[in-house]
Amino acid sequence: MKITDVNVYKLKMNMRHPFTTSFGTQQLREFALVEVKNKHGVTGWGECVTTGEPLYIEEFTDASILMLERFLIPIVLHNEIEHPDDLEKHFKPFKRNHLAKSSIEGAIWDLYAKENNLSLAHALGGKKSSFEVGISLGIEKNINDLLTKIQEKIDENYRRIKVKIAPGKDIQIVDSIRQKFPDIPLMVDANSAYTLNDMETLKKLDQYNLMMIEQPLTAGDLIDHAKLQKEIDTPICLDESIHSYDDARQAIELKSGKIINMKIGRVGGLTQAKKIHDLCKENNIPLWCGGMLESGIGRAHNIAITSLDNFILPGDTAASSRYWHKDIIKPEVVVENGILKVPEGLGIGYDVDMEEVLKHTTEKLTFK
């Protein structure tokens, strides 16, 4: 493959509803898109799923754009790339920056699929044509607002409900949810807000029949997660802890959790996501696809990876309309009866709505 042009768009896009986690509230999404072109003018698209500030992970949008400009884009423009899998070795000397690496790697995967007349899902080896999805709900000001939201999402047939928890906003919330909805498939996500000193609180969650607790402890704490998993029955699902194949391998060996949330950006791209998928499959670790409040482009990549067969549990890939007044792809992502259909078109399988992209673009950088 020969890439002749790369464009980076910085976007600011307002979400329909604020989204609150243990690390903060987001309503204005500030992220970037990467567009790569070959000499025939065929384009591939990727999303840099960063935020304006480094709150979920150490990367943030302006830093990732600089990373792309200074290091990653020159590699892509000055090398013949046989297959998107080769990018890993080119990017490897530059440490971490997985969200930036993933954005351009994803764009090249999209282009590769289009050049080979494949959908991105098929290019990745995905066989599913549809899958069940869940939804992730943020922390609300009061419990009644949350219960109303849950009812609404159950009525829309989302197949599992995830709610965010934080110290002091945990047991009572889960208790109220279970009183009103004793049987719904329910899980909680702490976004690293606890430590082993909170063992008593975390143990109390065992009585609520939760599918899992996502990332209770800090990202680097695989050993502490293993200690916690020994003490609680609820399966631990790792999110922020897993940045690579080796993280996943060590988490499995240490028994730090029983489930992994896959985020393509966090692990540095689709190639690494596929490797982790295969490792988890061999080790009977079920996966589901997480989300980063993506626009349609990142969402399309999530859909493609979820078509692989070890994505067993419903993920966070909800419909475009759950996030956006109007998405930047056509058609938008729709969820019917809790089911999402994998698109069959070439590459990501959705058209990028340039008019909408440019409406939200605050900065465009071009490279040749």
Q: Is 192 in the site for ligand OSB (CB under 6 A)?
A: no
Q: Which residues pair with 11 in a beta bridge?
A: 31, 361
Name which of ligand OSB, Mg ion, none residue 316 binds, using a CB cut-off of 5 to 8 Å depending on partner kind: ligand OSB
Q: Is 294 in the site for Mg ion (CB under 5 A)?
A: no
**284: closest CA among 264, 258, 254?**
258
Q: How far is CA 128 from the centre of its chain?
A: 19
Least Å distance between CB 269 and ligand OSB? 18
Closest CB to Mg ion among 47 and 189? 189
Q: Catalytic: which of 153, 162, 169, 263?
A: 263
Q: Is 110 in the site for Mg ion (CB under 5 A)?
A: no
Least Å distance between CB 303 and Mg ion? 18
Name which of Mg ion, ligand OSB, none residue 56 binds, using a CB cut-off of 5 to 8 Å depending on partner kind: ligand OSB
The CB density around residue 265, as the number of other CB atoms within 10 Å, is 29
Task: Burial-class residue 244 by CB neighbours within 10 Å (0-12, 13-18, 19+).
Answer: middle
The CB density around residue 29, as the number of other CB atoms within 10 Å, is 23
Element (DSSP H or E) covering residue 227: helix 222-231
Binding map of Mg ion across residues 232-261, x = CB under 5 A, - = no contact: -------x----------------------
Who's near 99: CB < 8 A, 6+ residues apart?
48, 49, 50, 57, 59, 64, 265, 266
User: Nearest to ligand OSB by Cβ — which residue?
Assistant: 291
Q: Is 110 in the site for ligand OSB (CB under 6 A)?
A: no
Q: Is 268 in the site for ligand OSB (CB under 6 A)?
A: no
Who's near 308: CB < 8 A, 6+ residues apart?
124, 125, 126, 127, 128, 274, 277
Least Å distance between CB 129 and ligand OSB? 22
Please report how the helices 98-115 and 296-306 are oriented relative to each other, as an axis angle in degrees rounded to 10.
Answer: 70
164 as an active site residue: the answer is yes
Q: Is 46 in the site for ligand OSB (CB under 6 A)?
A: no
3-state helix, strand, coil in the chain (%, to 5): 40, 25, 40
Name which of ligand OSB, Mg ion, none residue 292 binds, using a CB cut-off of 5 to 8 Å depending on partner kind: ligand OSB
Name which of Mg ion, ligand OSB, none residue 288 binds, using a CB cut-off of 5 to 8 Å depending on partner kind: none
Q: Which stretch binds Mg ion (CB under 5 A): 106-114, 141-149, 189-197, 330-338?
A: 189-197
| Cβ 88 vs Cβ 258: under 8 Å | no
Name which of ligand OSB, Mg ion, none residue 318 binds, using a CB cut-off of 5 to 8 Å depending on partner kind: ligand OSB
Who's near 286: CB < 8 A, 6+ residues apart?
258, 259, 260, 280, 310, 312, 313
Between CA 193 and CA 22 the distance in angstroms is 6
Q: Which stretch binds ligand OSB (CB under 6 A): 85-93, 103-111, 176-184, 289-297?
A: 289-297
Q: Is 316 in the site for Mg ion (CB under 5 A)?
A: no
- Cα 352 to Cα 299, 301, 305, 314, 347: the distances in Å are 12, 13, 19, 26, 12
Name which of Mg ion, ligand OSB, none residue 340 binds, using a CB cut-off of 5 to 8 Å depending on partner kind: none
Contacting residues toward Mg ion, per CB under 5 A: 189, 214, 239
Would you name the residues annotated as active-site residues? 164, 263
Contacting residues toward ligand OSB, per CB under 6 A: 56, 136, 189, 191, 239, 290-293, 316, 318
